[in-house]
Amino acid sequence: MSLHSNAITPPPILTSAEQPKKLTLKQSAAVGIGNFMEWFDFAIYGYFAAVIGQVFFPSNAPGISLLSSLAVFAVGFLARPFGALVLGPLGDKLGRKYVLMVTVFGMGVFTTLMGLLPGYATLGLLAPIVLILLRFLQGMMVGGEWSSAGIFLIESADDDRRARAASLITCTAGIAFLAGTATAAAINSGLSEEQVIAWGWRIPFVLSIFMTFLAVFIRRRLDDTPVYHELQAKKASNAIAPISFAKKRSSFIIAFAFSALFGVSLYYFITYANTHLVTVVHLPKISALWLCSLALLVYCFMHPFVGLLIDKVGRRKPVLFTAAGLIVSAYPIFLMWNTGNSVLIVLASILLGFFVCMSAVLNVVLLVEVFPASIRSTGAALGHNIASAVLAGPGPFIAALLIQYTGNPNVPAWYLIGVSTFCFLILFFMLPETKGKNLSDEH
């Protein structure tokens, strides 16, 4: 037998079409449950922002505790690009599954520690410092979760069902926000204000550790995606050409734009709406939470239908329609919220929720389709999370600050209008139609 016959030959490169590519129930459940846990943990901070402000940032000045807690909320977003820098390349090198394991475990641990952290009255200045650190680490985990979960599902799905696969990510995130709202409403209804401040707000933070164990157990049994396996085979055969700087730059700019559109509208809908109804419209906390919960319930039901629509009509027209819709409707939404009328508040919130749902599903699909396979995890994580850090995360804080200094309850609408206009212009001139793109393509 010759020496040559014993040489190790590279594995054959299978195209995505030749590899098994059916999204299984196990894959969907593993990603969906973990995604729910991640976003529930991240969202409950927003629902208890006012209480956390009192516990960790006590102040007699009106609005300062709330502004401080919302600033820490934004810290979670500022951390996300750092998470993307660390976790994104790991997804390209070690696999999409690896990142999903790290993010779900880290999120559960850091959230639980936040729930156990003593307040300012016990630890003094150390308490808000540690809170900021934990929120930063929590944000890093989210920096890897959203894009990695989307990549995993869409790379595993049939080409004509990508948006429907994406809707699982966005829907479970919506259910997580709904669960967070309902949890906050139940805690505020069942406990006195003193009990909520003393220990009640900590309950969902501490209980998240149980969801963490469940999510880790399920995700550890996953195999990686067909596209990732094909990518590894190409790397072994040195069959991957370098990606040009121009391609990287254009993909990043496009991803930044549609991620900013999604992020700013999402956190107006999910986090700021409840705060606005309580602090500006002066609704009782319970009333505001239940009104937001009703709008969120409708929002959760929208996702599969939006996914089906986008699979049929493509990506470009729906994302431009969404940006234009936010530009036109933002100010009327605030006018309706500020009436204090429950029916108008719910209608305005559902309208905003529709545009958020559209932008959410499009965001997940486009994060996968605009980047070449070999840099997809890194590029998607950076594009999405830098937009979240720069424009989306500070959104609730900027909204509260604008009202604090102008006294105009409608002024936050202009921030949403400005961001949506900026995103519309970028996407109109730069975004091609990506429906049906070969996800193994390096161009």
pLDDT digits (tens, 9 = 90+) for 124-168: 888 888 988 898 898 889 888 888 889 989 998 898 999 999 999
Per-residue pLDDT band at 92 (split at 50, 70, 90): confident
Task: Tally Cβ neighbours within 10 Å of residue 8.
Answer: 6
In 3D space, the residue among 361, 370, 347, 368 whose CA is nearest the CA of residue 309 turns out to be: 361
pLDDT at 273 over 70: yes
Provide the token pair at 22. Answer: 């059916």
Tell me the pLDDT tens digit for each residue of 192-205: 888 998 899 999 99
Q: Which residues fall within 8 angstroms of residue 349, CB to CB, at 6 or more apart?
A: 269, 273, 291, 292, 294, 295, 333, 337
- % pLDDT > 70, the chain: 91
Q: Are 120 and 128 in contact (CB under 8 A)?
A: yes
Which is higher by pLDDT, 46 or 324? 324
Q: How many CA atoms lie within 13 A of 417 on its CB side?
A: 13
Residue 48 CA to residue 340 CA, distance in Å, equals 22
Residue 392 CA to residue 369 CA, distance in Å, equals 22
Reduce the DSSP state of residue 10 to 3 states and report it.
coil
List of domains in the chain: 23-233+244-430 (1.20.1250.20)
Q: Which residues fall within 8 angstroms of residue 385, CB to CB, at 6 or more apart?
A: 77, 80, 81, 83, 84, 143, 147, 259
Q: What is the mean pLDDT of residues 176-196?
A: 85
Burial class for 123, CB neighbours closer than 10 Å (0-12, 13-18, 19+): middle
Residue 7: the pLDDT is: 44
Residue 351: the pLDDT is: 97
The residue with tokens 């979760």 is: 145
Looking at residue 102, its amino acid is: V
In 3D space, the residue among 145, 137, 130 whose CA is nearest the CA of residue 79 turns out to be: 137
The region, left, alpha or beta by phi > 0 then psi within -120 to 50, assigned to residue 59 is beta
Q: What are phi and psi of 416, to 5 degrees?
A: -65, -40
Q: What is the mean pLDDT of residues 15-36?
A: 70
Residue 386: the pLDDT is: 92
H or E element that contains 142: helix 126-156
Q: What are phi and psi of 49, to 5 degrees?
A: -60, -45
Q: How many CA atoms lie within 13 A of 398 on its CB side?
A: 18
